Structure 1
Amino acid sequence: MTPPDDTVIRDAATVILWQHGPSGPEVLMGQRGSSAAFMPDKFVFPGGAIDAGDVAVSLRGLPDPTCLRRLAIESDAALVPALLAGAIREVWEETGLILGRPGNWTAPTPDWESFAATGHAPSAENFTYVFRAITPPGRTRRFDARFFLVPAGAVRGDASDFSRACDELRHLQWIPLTEVRRFDLPFITTVVLAELAPLIGRSGQPASVPFCRNDDVISGITRLG
C-alpha cells in the first residue's frame, strides 16, 4: 500500500456561517459522506481546497484591512483574494447559499458559471478571519485551512434554503452552539468552536488569529496579530 503523500499541503478555506436562533447562536454544518477520502461521516463547516480558477475571480467586496493583512502573514499576499473567493465558491457548491452582491459578471472558469448565473458577484465584505490550521502529517489529505466567520445576514435570500446544494454535504442544518458538540466532529473543529463562541455577535476583527501548525495542538498553536 502506498503511504499518503503528506508533503502536499493545499490551501483551503472554511466558512462558519452563524445566526441567532431560538436558543442562542447557531452555526451551519453538514455531514460528509461515508466514502469521503477526508473526514468521512464527520459534521463540518462548508469549505474546501482553493482551485486554480479562484485566483482569477474579482471580488465586489473585501473584508477590513486587518483581516486582509493577517491573511497575508506567512502566506503569499497574491493568494489572499483567492482564499476569499474559494470560500465563497465552496459555500455556494456545498450549501447553495450566495455570498455576494447583485451584479452581472463573466465567470473565469466553469466552476464559477452556476454562481454567476444567479446574477450575483462574489463579495467577502462580511468575513472575519478567526482561525488557521494545517492538517497533521500522515493524513490522507493535508490542507492549510483558513476559517472565516460570516453572519447569516450576508447571505442573499433564505439562509435555510439548501435546494441548490451539491451532494457533498448531507443533513445540512443550523445547529445551536449549545448542542453542536453532540455531533461527530473532527478534533480541529472542536478547537475552532472553543475559540469561536466569544466572537459571535461581536463587531470588528478578533485581537489575534490562532494558527495550529501541526499535530501537536498544544505547542503548535501560535497567534497571528
Structure 2
Amino acid sequence: MPTIDLKSPTTRVAIVAVAVAIVAVLVAAGAVVAAFMALSRVETPSNAAPQPAATGGGVDGASSAAPPPVDGPTEEPSPVQPVPDFELSYEKVSLKIPASRWCSGSVDIDIDGPAIDSGSADFTRVRCAGPDEFEFGEVSVSQDATPKIGPAECMEKLDLAPMREGAQLPIPSLHVGDALCILTNRETAIGLGLPQRIALLEVKGFDDDGTIAVVMTAWNVPD
C-alpha cells in the first residue's frame, strides 16, 4: 500500500484545496438554511410583525376623522302639553227622568244638582206634536261616548263628534248602555256663580211608564 508524503508540496496543496472545499460546502449549507428560515418567516402569518392600522384614506395619509359639526339652528323637542286637572263634582248619581206630560209641560234636567224639575234646566225631556225626545239648548252634547270614559275623553268627543247646538235626541233611539257627554254653557255657569261642568250620562233602563233610569257623573272644568 503506497504511503502519503505529508511533507511533499503537492500533498500540502491537495490538503489545503480539500479544506477550502469543505469550508465552502459548509458556508453554502449555512446560506441555504438561512434562506429557508427567512422564507418560513415570510410565509407564516403568525410570525409576521403587526402592521399599524391605516389612519387616512387620502394619498398623503391624512386623517379620515369626521368633520366637526356645522353650527346652525337645532330642532327643539315639542313641549309636553299639560293634562287639564278636572275636579270630580259628583259620581254615579242615579236619577229617574219621568215621561213628559205631553204639551202641558216638560221635564227639566239640571246637571249641576243633579236634579229633576228643580227650577233650573240644562236640557229637557219634551213630548208634544213630535216624538218623545231630549232637547239640548245651550249645552254641548256628543253621543259618541261610552260609560267607561273620563272627562278628558268626553271633551275630545265634544270636539270630534258634537251634536249641533240646540239638538234634539229622540228617546226611542236610546238603549241601555248608551252614554252621552254633556258640557254646560260656560257663560251661563259664570252668571249663576257655578263652575262649568262636563257630565257623563249613562242610560241604565226604561220603566213601563216611560221613565228612564240614568246614572250621572260630573267634573268641574278647569279655568
Q: Do both share a fold (TM > 0.5)?
A: no
Q: Name the TM-score, length of structure 2 as normaliser.
A: 0.21
Give 1 or 2: higher strand fraction.
1
Q: Name the TM-score, length of structure 1 as normaliser.
A: 0.21
Larger radius of gyration: 2
Higher relative contact order (CA 8 A, sep 6+): 1
